[in-house]
Structure 1
Amino acid sequence: MNRRNFLITPPAMALALGLGSTPLQSLAAPAILTPASRILPREGKKPRIVICGGGWGGMTAARYLRELIPNSDVVLLERNPTFWSGPMSNKWLIDIVNTDFVNHDMQRPANRYGYTLLQTEVMGFERDRKLVRTAHGLIEYDFLILSGGIRNAYEAWFGNDQRAIDHTRTHFPSAYIPNAEMFALKRKIQEFKGGTLVMTLPPPPHRCPPSPYERACLIAWHIKKNRIPGKILILDPKPKVAPIHMGYQTAFRELYPDIITHVPNARVQELDPFNKRIKTSAGEFRFDDAILMPPHQAAEMVWQADLIGKDANGKPTGWADMHPRLFHAHSDDSVYFVGDLMGAISDQFGHYPKSGHVANYVGRIVARNIAERVSGKEVVARLPDNLCYMMVNAEPQEEISVKFEYEVDPASGKVIQTQIDMDVRTEDLVKEDFAWIKEKFSDFLAI
């Protein structure tokens, strides 16, 4: 059997494409399926919106598009067989929550909200023809939403040294792209017997800015509880812990003074993953084990679509070239961006936080923007907000939190950000956190 060209019957196609609820006769499946085959033929004149990426943002957009445009044909493309939540995954690493809490079926919300779910790999785009190329064939669209999250930019460390990239990914996974690396990291934590564990943090902007510090705290709690002779060295490219500066600094000092050492201004300069040596702008370090988080960039699909922004010198920014208020591509207003791959918003604060909360909120905004365009109404620019809870102690369970609010400055017309840190760790914030995640999961996962 060849990955790109195989004999397939209509029932088998329905199973392979995750379309068990779609009538087989409506698929009009070709006898031979190739990457050049047209699949999921259009039905009448329904507006077709294709969403690439079934995370927090993509699934939210799919749900609200079907709600706001009842006659729409919404197709969600996702390569993973199940949904894995980044939010709460640090708690999963030390068994505060179980796997069923962060890992969920995707077909259930598709069935409930009435969109088509297709498990496939996005291979590229033909934007001039409004086509998405997938591993199963070509899909037409009227509007396209890219919501594929991030990619790990290991080449910033290793150039084209694929051997070093593969070794680092295998032995020192960053676990910021679910879900296989999450299981590898959990095994690493469970099997850690002692020594120096180095954590490199990506330079901003990166996925879920406060979460690496939460991860360090929870691993430190595991080390402390199990009396493991180990230490955690956080190599942070920023000049200080941020966001939630005082909350984390207090946790490091009061809860884990002999375990966590935070090193600021430690941008990675050279890394030897084979001999476990790292050189940074703050000095050179050796490690016994590591969680190596490389710089983050927009998902491959944004590069494939040729929609990466450029800076004043014409160099790629690494993030989507996006209208800061309406979330569509500057060069193609039929393409929208949702979630962590989004580009800069404001010269005051740069990017919206790359978080599940923002992805969920912008998914709803983009669905409404497209609905307004389809109905011929004026598109109203809307602003999200952001809220993150971070656990710093597991016995007793205590959390800190950060909130971001946004408004348009009447003088400049630009979006400005207000950050509110909740630095005092409390059990009440744990209750708020679990209420928050329950509300979000019910919003787009139908649970």
Structure 2
Amino acid sequence: MKRREFLLTPPKLALAAGIAAVPLAGLAAPAVITSSTRILPRDGSRPRIVICGGGWGGMTAARYLRQLVPNSDVILLERNPTFWSGPMSNKWLLDIVSTDFVNHDMQRPANTYGYTLLQTEVIGFERDRKLVRTSLGAIDYDFLILSGGIRNAYDAWFGNDQRAIDYTRTHFPSAYIPNAEMLALKQKIRDFKGGTIVMTLPPPPHRCPPSPYERACLIAAHIKKNKIPGKVVILDPKPKVAPISMGYQTAFRELYPDIIVHVPNARVQELDPFKKRIKTTAGEFDFDDAILMPPHQAADMVWHAGLIGKDAAGKPTGWADMHPRLFHANSDDSVYFVGDLMGAISPQFGHYPKSGHVANYIGKIVAQNIAERISGKEIIARLPDNLCYMMVNIEPMEEISVKFEYEVDPKGMVVQTQIDVDVRTEDMVKEDFAWINEKFQDFLAI
């Protein structure tokens, strides 16, 4: 089946496309494993919460569910063997932080906080039976949390041209999802000897961090430091740099005037990765190398679960169809959403920032709401906040930041206040590392 047809196939039919299972060490497995095999049988009548996705939001939810509902059976499903942090990953590209700083063991927090970690691929759902299908078999749940992040929507550029999709992913990786693309991009930067690097920015809403503007600044800093005859062309679909417009514009102008070229209103219309040519609403561009970041959408698991929202015209929004204050699916209140895959929150600002900070915060809120439901207490609609730091210079190291605060107006709408810190300082770097160390301690047990 074509990719989009697969994604839109009802969950029960999609199960046939599941991958072969590889049992984990220590997990008793039958001789033949299928997606119908039941695994992890219930231990008594304890409430069971299954979490799909072990990133910032999923791991936070798992930790706090075990704390708030100590008699619960919390199972975290994650396909990757280790945790990789999007925040700080741009700095890792330039060796400002080490691999050990952004890459962490996931079993330690599971052991520390008392939840079950299962390395497996989520391949489908039967929500009417409250079952998650995985490559190791089926797991039942009372509550389900989807926290799988984003998917790269290459089909928005190439339709069903899988050859073009694979070539683009292999040769011009976006490095937005923790996988081998991170290593490929790091090697690309190291090997760059000169020429024009084109960066396409995902249209909003998109995952950030890693901030694409920060990535451009750090690559430009590398070019400047090593006197490489090259430039970075940012093809931005937005009419201006945002957020922190002044901070980034000042950095582009003062630090990298001959390296960074920012092109606004440059929405991708056609892309030929083989000929290294791109056509946008702001003109056509040739490139020697590129970081091609396609539009973002909710992770495949939300599509598989049949929980993607629709707009007024009945077309998929690309994001979870959810209650904007309580974070459960509008059509199924036993399913919750945490992190970047979440749908729109408010007519004023649209989506919460798709950041690690927000994912961590929403993970705690959802854990509290589920705990309230299990205990029969009143469910409280809570609000997060957001804080992001971005490095724009490496000699000396300097950063800028943006903070978002939220409140409910008299009409009951969530409204956002944005606070930009546009002046780059070395003190902001210290704040950044203090912030992420606090977050890592919160859900990674380090």
- If the length of structure 2 is used for normalisation, what is the TM-score? 0.95
- Counterpart check, 1:294 vs 2:304: no
Following the alignment from structure 1 to structure 2, what is the Cα–Cα distance between the partners of residues 90 and 208? 11
Q: Distance in 2 between matches of 1:14 and 1:403?
A: 41
For 1:86-118, what per-residue CA distance to the aligned partner results, in whole angstroms no more than 9, with x for missing partners?
A: 000000000000100000000000000000000
CA contact (8 A) 1:56 1:356 kept: yes
Quote the Cα distance in structure 2 between the aligned partners of 1:227 and 1:394. Answer: 14
SS at match of 1:64: helix
Q: CA deviation at 1:33?
A: 2.5
Q: How many residues align?
A: 429
CA distance in 2, matches of 1:235, 1:33: 47
Is residue 2:82 matched to residue 1:72?
A: no
Q: 1:342 aligns to what?
A: 342
Alignment of structure 1 residues 212-251 onto 2, 5 Å: 212-251=212-251
1:210 Cα offset (Å):
7.5
SS at match of 1:61: helix
The code of the aligned residue for 1:294 comes to P
Question: Partner residue of 2:444?
Answer: 445
| Residue deviations 1:262-320 (CA, integer Å, cap 9, x gap) | 00000000000000000000000000000000000000000000000000000000000
Residue 315 of structure 1 is matched in structure 2 by 315
* Counterpart for residue 83 of structure 1: 83
Q: Give how far 1:30 is off.
A: 3.3
Contact between 2:24 and 2:119, CA under 8 Å: does it hold in 1? no
Query: Which residue is 2:124 aligned to?
Result: 124
Report the residue type matching 1:422 in the other structure: V
**CA distance 1:315–1:209, shift in 2 (3 Å):** farther
State the superposition RMSD in angstroms.
1.2
1:39 maps to a residue whose letter is I
2:25 match: 15
Aligned ranges 1:17-36 → 2 under 5 Å: 29-36=29-36
Match of 2:263 in 1: 263
Letter in 2 for 1:306: G
Counterpart of 1:43? 43
Report matched runs for 1:189-208 at 5 Å.
189-208=189-208
Residue 435 of structure 2 corresponds to 436
The CA distance in 1 between the partners of 2:78 and 2:432, in whole Å, is 27
Q: What corresponds to 1:359 in structure 2? A: 359
SS at match of 1:216: helix
Q: Secondary structure at the match of 1:15?
A: coil
How has the CA–CA distance of structure 1 residues 16 and 157 changed in structure 2, closer, same or farther, with 3 Å as cutoff? farther
Partner of 1:333: 333
Check whether the contact 1:209–1:242 (CA below 8 A) recurs between aligned residues: no
CA 1:84–1:210: 2 relative to 1, 3 Å: closer
Matches within 5 A, 1:377-416: 377-410=377-410, 412-416=411-415
Matches of 2:19 and 2:261, distance apart in 1:
49
Partner of 1:71, secondary structure, is: coil
Residues in 1 aligned to 2:390 and 2:26: alpha-carbon distance in whole angstroms:
39
Q: Can you give the 5+ residue segments of structure 2 that lack an aligned partner in the other structure?
A: 1-17
CA contact (8 A) 1:209 1:243 kept: no
The offset of 1:352, in angstroms, is 0.1
Give the percent of matched residue pairs that are identical in Structure 1 and Structure 2. 85
Q: Are the equivalent residues in 1 in contact too, given 2:272–2:278 (CA < 8 A)?
A: yes
Structure-2 separation of matches of 1:221 and 1:418: 31
Code of the residue aligned with 2:414 in structure 1: it is V
Aligned counterparts of 1:162 and 1:242: Cα–Cα separation in 2: 32
2:373 alignment partner in structure 1: 373
Structure 2 Cα separation of the partners of residues 152 and 31 of structure 1: 36
Structure 2 CA distance, aligned partners of 1:5 and 1:31?
13
Q: Is the 8 A contact 1:388 1:403 kept in 2?
A: yes
Structure-2 residue corresponding to 1:138: 138
Whether contact under 8 Å (2:176, 2:210) holds in the other structure is no
* Residues 320, 341 of structure 1: 8 Å contact kept: yes
Residues 4, 34 of structure 1: 8 Å contact kept: no
Deviation for aligned residue 1:368: 0.3
2:371 and 2:353 map into 1 onto residues whose CA distance is 25
Moved more, 205-214 or 177-186: 205-214
Give yes or no for contact 1:210–1:242 (8 Å, CA) kept in 2: no
Deviation sequence 1:378-408 (CA, Å, 0-9, x none)? 1000000000000000110000000000000
Take 2:30 and 2:126, find their aligned partners in 1: how far apart are those partners? 21
Matched with 1:422 is 421
Displacement of 1:34: 2.1
Alpha carbons of 1:331 and 1:248: their partners in 2 closer, same or farther (altered >3 Å)? Answer: same
CA distance in 2, matches of 1:72, 1:210: 34
Q: Deviations over 1:324-378 (max 9, x none)?
A: 0000000000000000000000000000000000000000000000000000001
2:247 & 2:276 partners in 1: Cα distance?
31
Contact 1:352 1:358 in 2 (8 A): yes
**What secondary structure does 2:25 align onto?**
helix
1:180 to partner: Cα distance: 1.0
**CA separation of 1:424 and 1:436: change in aligned 2, threshold 3 A:** same
Structure 1's 272 and 41: CA in aligned 2 closer, same or farther, altered over 3 A?
A: same
**Distance across 1 between alignment mates of 2:101 and 2:141:** 34
